[in-house]
Amino acid sequence: MRLSRVAAACLLVPVTCLTVRSQRVAVVMGASRGIGKGVAVELGRAGYAVYALGRTSRSGRKNTRSAERALPPGSDLTIEATAEEITRVGGRGLSVQCDVGDDADLQRAIAGVGAAEGRLDILVCSQFSTPPGALRDDFWKQGLDMWDTVNGVGLRSVYATCCAATPLMIDTAASVGASDAGAPPPLICLVSSFGGKSYTFNVAYGVGKAAIDRLASDMNVQVPYHVDLSIYMYICISLCVSISIHASTYLSVSISIDL
């Protein structure tokens, strides 16, 4: 019997994107499962071409540096499965295996999207790496392994992804804006949690999520006229909890995610 958990997330998408043109392109990091998969499928349902990026492919995992949760027998939590689901619900799903902890591999993946599509409208950074050992413990007992695992992918890789994708999104804003003045700007969406506001799980996790919040805020200062970077999602297993929002032109959409 396959066991599952259901998470609800709030995805902020431009109101005008609810009837999007099929040419609009999204990249979702960490799309093989969880929050990333749920967001990718819902973007497909809205008519996007969605690139599902992640390390877990039917051909095998891209790396073995982090721990892996045990999955129910018969589970197909791969980027290919996500891409197929995106297509099934009305989008155009494409899978790209990528080790988000490898800068060169990450840059290659984003460059490939730019070469194939010539645009990038939405970037969702949902990558995270399962930490070793007990998630809840004193920081001096967890040491640097917890820090490096949680913040190597959950923070550093998010920053690296934004660095790689923002030039393409600025170009997209310029080209789309020239032909359609009413089109919403490209959107970068970062996944955070209440761990960035108050103690949750452990010290390394909380510092990383607080940094994600600040990353969204500070990037928005530098490119406010090109790409909308002011939105980040707050996620909690089993219920929709909260959203931090700085733009009134965005609409909250509840999505159900099979973990």
Q: Which residues are part of the catalytic machinery? A: 205
- Please give the backbone phi and psi of residue 41, each rounded to the nearest 5 degrees, phi first: -65, -40
Closest CA to 202 of 138, 156, 131, 128: 138
* DSSP string computed for 70-105: ---TT---SHHHHHHHHHHTTSEEEEEE--TT-HHH
Quick one: 136 exposed, middle or buried, by C-beta within 10 A (0-12, 13-18, 19+)? exposed
- Please state, as a whole number, how many other Cβ atoms lie within 10 Å of the Cβ of residue 88: 12
- CA dist 158 and 24 (Å) reads 22
Residue 26 DSSP class:
E
Q: Is 258 exposed, middle or buried (0-12, 13-18, 19+ CB in 10 A)?
A: middle
